[in-house]
Structure 1
Amino acid sequence: MRDHFVWVTTRRIKPGTLEEFERAWRPEPYPEGLLQAYAYWSEDGLEITGVSFWDKRESCDSWRGSESETRRRAAMAPYVVQEREGFYVGRELGIPVR
Structure 2
Amino acid sequence: MDEHFVWMTTRRIRPGTLADFERAWRPPSTPSGMLRAYAFWSEDGLEIIGVSFWDSRDSCDAWRASEAEARRREAMAPYVIEERESLYRGRELGIPLGSG
- Same fold flag (TM > 0.5): yes
Report how far residue 83 of structure 1 moved.
0.1
SS of equivalent residue, structure 2 residue 6: strand
Superposed, which structure 2 residues align to 1:1-98 within 5 Å?
Answer: 1-98=1-98
Q: When the two structures are aligned, how many residues end up with a matched partner?
A: 98
Amino acid at match of 1:47: E
- Structure 1: distance between partners of 2:2 and 2:45: 34
Q: CA RMSD in A?
A: 0.6
Cα distance in 2 for partners of 1:34, 1:91 equals: 16
Give, as a single letter, the amino acid of the residue that structure 2 aligns with 1:56.
S
1:29–1:68 CA contact under 8 A, matched in 2: no
Query: What's the TM-score once normalised by structure 2's chain length?
Result: 0.96
Q: Deviations over 1:28-82 (max 9, x none)?
A: 1320011100000000000000000001110000000000000000000000000
Ranges of 4+ aligned residues in structure 1 off by more than 6 Å? none
Please tell me whether the aligned partners of residues 32 and 59 of structure 1 are also in contact (alpha carbons under 8 angstroms): yes
What residue ranges of structure 2 are gaps of 5+ in the alignment? Answer: none
TM-score by length of 1: 0.98
Distance 2:11 2:83 in 1: 4
Task: Give identity over the alignment, percent.
Answer: 71
Mark the runs of 5 or more structure 1 residues left unpaired by the alignment: none
Give me the whole-angstrom Cα distance separating, in 2, the residues matched to 1:79 and 1:2.
36
